[in-house]
Amino acid sequence: MTVIDRLPLWSLVLCLGVLTAQTATGSDAQKIDIPLVVSEVPTDLWSKNRLEAAIGSDGSLTLADTGSGPFNDASFWQIAFNQELPYGRKEFSVHIEIDPAHRTLWGSNLLQPIVNGKEVEAAMDADGKPSFEKIIADDGKGFIPAVSGTFRFALPKSERKLGVFAFMTGGAENFRLTMRDFKVTVWPEADDRVWPQRPLMSELNYRPDDTKTLMIEWHEDEDSRSRRTADVTVSGPHGEQTVAVTIPRHPSIASGSRVSAVDLSDFSEPGDYTVTVPSLGPRTEAASAAFRIADNAAQLAGHRDDAWGVFYWITDNEHGPYPDAHARDASARTYGARQQRRDVSGGWFDAGDYGKYTVNGAYSVGLMLLTGLLAPQVLDHPVEPLAGGRDGWPDWLSAAAAQLDWLVKMQGPDGGANHKATTRDWPGLDVSPQDDTAVKWIMPVSSTATADYAAVMALAAKVLQNQPDSEAQGRAARYRAAAARARQWLEQNPDLVMTETRYDGKDYGGPYTDGDDSDERFFADAAWAALTRDRADIDAVEAQLADRRAAMNRLKNETYWGRVDLLGFWALKTIENDLSPAARDTVDAALRSAAHRWRVEKQRAPWDIPHGDSETLTWGSNSVLATMGWHWLLWSQVSGDDKYIAPARDLAHWFFGRNPQGQTYVTGTSPGSAKDPHFRPSVSGAIALPDGFLVGGPNSGGLSGDPAASGLIGQPPMRMYIDDKESYATNEVAINWQAAWALYLSLLAALEN
Ligand code: 9MR
């Protein structure tokens, strides 16, 4: 038997290239040394720009400080070895030579070693003692000590590939070291592991007349690869029934596995069900999954309430859970003119960090305002906990007001909106809101921030002018004036004005940069026309409709913080009766065609989600899907077209476990839920992790030095997710994702009323 017939198909695809390079799997006692060389100069993934890497002709790597004085910071590096490994006990080793002038600054911490995304432990010596003592830092990270010598790390028997060796460096003065003689030593063993089949259903109930799609991810061995059908057993209140399932010929690109979508919609009797998928060959085994047919109104309302409750836990004002945090934001410094101070306190944390970003902050509250204008009835539910509820206002509006209070402060004296208010460096993952005392910098103005700001101020004014109380009326007037000033700035600055991605070599938070502001300007014009309903304003935006539709078609209706055409069309939908008949048709056509195309994509996709099988899953892929769910249901609400209700209901199952990882992408108490998101308030222990956060999800679009996700490199896109607090690229939370998610759930739950 060869190694090949023991592996699931997706790992097999990765494995083929290297088997030729291997000698043999050999007898159990035989030891194999697999030397590894660094063939490509690695880059400084956190862009600290202090250490420089060089590789030697012998496959070694030297890292040396190019600056002067202490480098009291961490940097992050990855070396992709992509070496396939036989099954069996194994070690990875490297010889490290430290320059005599190298002085560590964090005790004796040299670097944190990470293999395939996981920090590695010392291999054991023959006497059962660790081959070196790891040093555990306050934040729980383990470092190897700063002594020259050979370091040996244990790898699991089952690790079949050394994909990436990554390391984080500790602070040092005169940092200089060389790593050489990289090698894996393996004591091969016969691999007789057996792979269970993977039936996947979600944790949500299926309503009796819902579409019920069972996904099966097949594990196969040599005997089974040619199998085209299998019998799946469904047992439930009806007794037991067999369903013949076709196994597709080709694997899904997104998951790297053959998958079958089995329609179980004919089962409709309420009760508990079990599906059992048979073994296909000697190296596979049968496996079962449970699901329930029952009403799901209470579940959906519960998830909706959790999702909305989350906004409390990210509110950074006196009504939120961290009343004393970020007091210095009340006199933040202006980048480039540090003496100029402004109050930019309050609002929501953007994500797992404490930065506030105008583009994303406006986008997130903008989704809420549009929904509140178009389908207020679906938001007529309590939000609990709520930071600062106001009498007579719907709870969602009180929640949103915390963010508007902050957003309005982001406008500068000339009417332009500053792009962000952030700290120069990212705070440590274990820093609580109260302990984050670093200076907030108000970064320069951008045209995307100003246009999104103008749009959202106009929408907020439109919502608030309908509230009878004087506070709402006062706000509506102020927001309208703020929108007008921002529009003036946009007129005076007709070309793209964009911030740098970094300043003086530092991040100053996330970039949120954009090379095209035409969609943001359209959103601003549309929202303004929606507020004023003035003929000239309407004419001005109607003149842009053809171009904007063409842009949406070209970009396949892409909608996220950097693409807001769809939001512009939604803003116009709020004044459809004021539009010319042709414009009204174009607005409807744009909204309908986005809904339609996503529905078609879902029908075609092996995993039954609106995502092309060979397309990239971008950073925050779950939010892309949640946004589609929101759009489908909002369109159904306003148009009465119910074609999109079934796909929108069905899509919910993706988030609750019907995906290749069987992962629930929401925080909570169920066994499958995300437990370890990248979110500083809970990681630091300031609060317990709240239920109801949507995490980013699989990301095949670039992991940006994510320390935990390096183990995901080279995996099929849908497997590029890890429930690890370090994984900002796959497991972070964020307000734009949360807003789409909460609104989608409000719309879903409202279907049950
Ligand atoms: O959501 C953002 C995503 O579209 C980008 O690809 C990514 C990298 O620039 O950044 C994401 O936004 C992050 C922001 O920059 C900083 N706060 C956390 C956000 C979510 O990860």
- List pLDDT tens digits, range 629-662: 999 999 999 999 999 999 999 999 999 999 999 9
Is residue 385's pLDDT more than 90?
Answer: yes
- Ligand 1 atom with the smallest distance to the CA of 355 is 17
Query: Atom 12 in ligand 1: which residue has the minimum CA distance?
Result: 510
User: 703 CA to middle of ligand 1, Å?
Assistant: 11
Q: Which of 116, 61, 112, 59 has the alpha carbon at shortest distance from 90?
A: 116
Query: Atom 7 in ligand 1: which residue has the minimum CA distance?
Result: 619
User: 215 CA to middle of ligand 1, Å?
Assistant: 31
Dihedral of the CA atoms 454, 459, 463, 469 (nearest 10)? 0
User: 729 CA to middle of ligand 1, Å?
Assistant: 8
The finding on whether 520 has its CB within 6 A of some atom of ligand 1 is no
Strands (E), 455-556: none
- Ligand 1 atom with the smallest distance to the CA of 737 is 1
The finding on whether 672 has its CB within 6 A of some atom of ligand 1 is no
User: 510 CA to middle of ligand 1, Å?
Assistant: 6
Is residue 4's pLDDT more than 60?
Answer: no
The finding on whether 510 has its CB within 6 A of some atom of ligand 1 is yes
User: 749 CA to middle of ligand 1, Å?
Assistant: 29
Give tens-digit pLDDT for 131-176: 999 999 988 899 999 999 999 999 999 999 999 999 999 999 999 9
224: confidence class by pLDDT, cuts 50, 70, 90: confident
Interval 287-303 mean pLDDT: 98
Whole-number pLDDT of residue 15: 37
Interval 123-138 mean pLDDT: 95
Whole-number pLDDT of residue 29: 64
Residue ranges matching CATH 1.50.10.10 in the chain = 299-751
Mean confidence (pLDDT) of the chain: 94
**What is the DSSP-derived secondary structure letter of residue 300?**
H
Residue holding tokens 């393996």?
186
CATH fold of the domain at 4-188? Jelly Rolls (2.60.120)
CB 75 within 8 A of CB 46: yes
- CA gyration radius, the chain: 28
Whole-number pLDDT of residue 12: 39
User: 260 CA to middle of ligand 1, Å?
Assistant: 33
Is residue 7's pLDDT more than 50?
Answer: no
711: confidence class by pLDDT, cuts 50, 70, 90: confident
Whole-number pLDDT of residue 74: 95
Rounded to the nearest 5°, which phi and psi values hold at 600? -65, -45
Q: Which of 713 and 517 is assigned the larger pLDDT?
A: 517
- Ligand 1 atom with the smallest distance to the CA of 678 is 21
The finding on whether 734 has its CB within 6 A of some atom of ligand 1 is yes
- Ligand 1 atom with the smallest distance to the CA of 512 is 15
Interval 478-494 mean pLDDT: 98
Residue holding tokens 């862009």?
47
User: 94 CA to middle of ligand 1, Å?
Assistant: 34
Q: Which of 348, 349, 359, 360 to mutate to test the pocket of ligand 1 (most atoms within 8 A of CB)?
A: 360
Query: Atom 16 in ligand 1: which residue has the minimum CA distance?
Result: 510
Query: Atom 3 in ligand 1: which residue has the minimum CA distance?
Result: 619
Give tens-digit pLDDT for 316-371: 999 999 999 999 999 999 999 988 999 999 999 999 999 999 999 999 999 999 99
The Cα 683–Cα 678 span in angstroms is 7
Q: Which of 223 and 325 is assigned the larger pLDDT?
A: 325
Give tens-digit pLDDT for 181-213: 999 999 999 998 999 999 999 999 999 999 999
Whole-number pLDDT of residue 220: 84
The finding on whether 350 has its CB within 6 A of some atom of ligand 1 is yes
User: 489 CA to middle of ligand 1, Å?
Assistant: 27
Q: Is 86 helix (H, G, I), strand (E, B) or coil?
A: coil
The finding on whether 619 has its CB within 6 A of some atom of ligand 1 is yes
Q: Which of 314, 349, 350, 429 to mutate to test the pocket of ligand 1 (most atoms within 8 A of CB)?
A: 350
Q: Own/partner pairs for 375-382, CB < 8 Å, 24+ apart?
A: 375/634, 375/637, 375/638, 375/747, 375/750, 377/750, 378/637, 378/746, 378/747, 378/749, 378/750, 379/743, 379/746, 381/301, 381/304, 381/305, 381/308, 381/746, 381/749, 382/305
Give tens-digit pLDDT for 13-46: 333 333 333 343 444 468 999 999 999 999 999 9
User: 71 CA to middle of ligand 1, Å?
Assistant: 27
- Ligand 1 atom with the smallest distance to the CA of 560 is 4
Query: Atom 2 in ligand 1: which residue has the minimum CA distance?
Result: 619
The Cα 259–Cα 254 span in angstroms is 11
The Cα 507–Cα 529 span in angstroms is 37
- Ligand 1 atom with the smallest distance to the CA of 510 is 15
Query: Atom 18 in ligand 1: which residue has the minimum CA distance?
Result: 351
Interval 83-95 mean pLDDT: 96
Q: Which of 534 and 1 is assigned the larger pLDDT?
A: 534
Whole-number pLDDT of residue 2: 34
Amino acid code (one letter) for 213? T
The Cα 237–Cα 268 span in angstroms is 10
The finding on whether 514 has its CB within 6 A of some atom of ligand 1 is no
Residue ranges matching CATH 2.60.120 in the chain = 4-188
User: 359 CA to middle of ligand 1, Å?
Assistant: 11
Q: Which of 502, 512, 618, 730 to mutate to test the pocket of ligand 1 (most atoms within 8 A of CB)?
A: 512
The finding on whether 728 has its CB within 6 A of some atom of ligand 1 is yes
Amino acid code (one letter) for 329? D
CB 642 within 8 A of CB 178: no
CATH of domain 299-751: 1.50.10.10
- Ligand 1 atom with the smallest distance to the CA of 562 is 4
Query: Atom 14 in ligand 1: which residue has the minimum CA distance?
Result: 510
753: confidence class by pLDDT, cuts 50, 70, 90: confident
The Cα 656–Cα 288 span in angstroms is 17
Interval 393-410 mean pLDDT: 98
- Ligand 1 atom with the smallest distance to the CA of 704 is 8
- Ligand 1 atom with the smallest distance to the CA of 353 is 17
Is residue 683's pLDDT more than 80?
Answer: yes
Residue ranges matching CATH 2.60.40.10 in the chain = 195-295
Query: Atom 19 in ligand 1: which residue has the minimum CA distance?
Result: 351
pTM of the model: 0.91
The Cα 506–Cα 498 span in angstroms is 17
Neighbours of 47 (CB within 10 A): 16
Whole-number pLDDT of residue 709: 86
User: 1 CA to middle of ligand 1, Å?
Assistant: 46
- Ligand 1 atom with the smallest distance to the CA of 734 is 20
Q: Spelled out in words, what is the top-level CATH class assigned to the domain 195-295?
A: mainly beta
The Cα 590–Cα 336 span in angstroms is 42
Query: Atom 6 in ligand 1: which residue has the minimum CA distance?
Result: 619
The finding on whether 361 has its CB within 6 A of some atom of ligand 1 is no
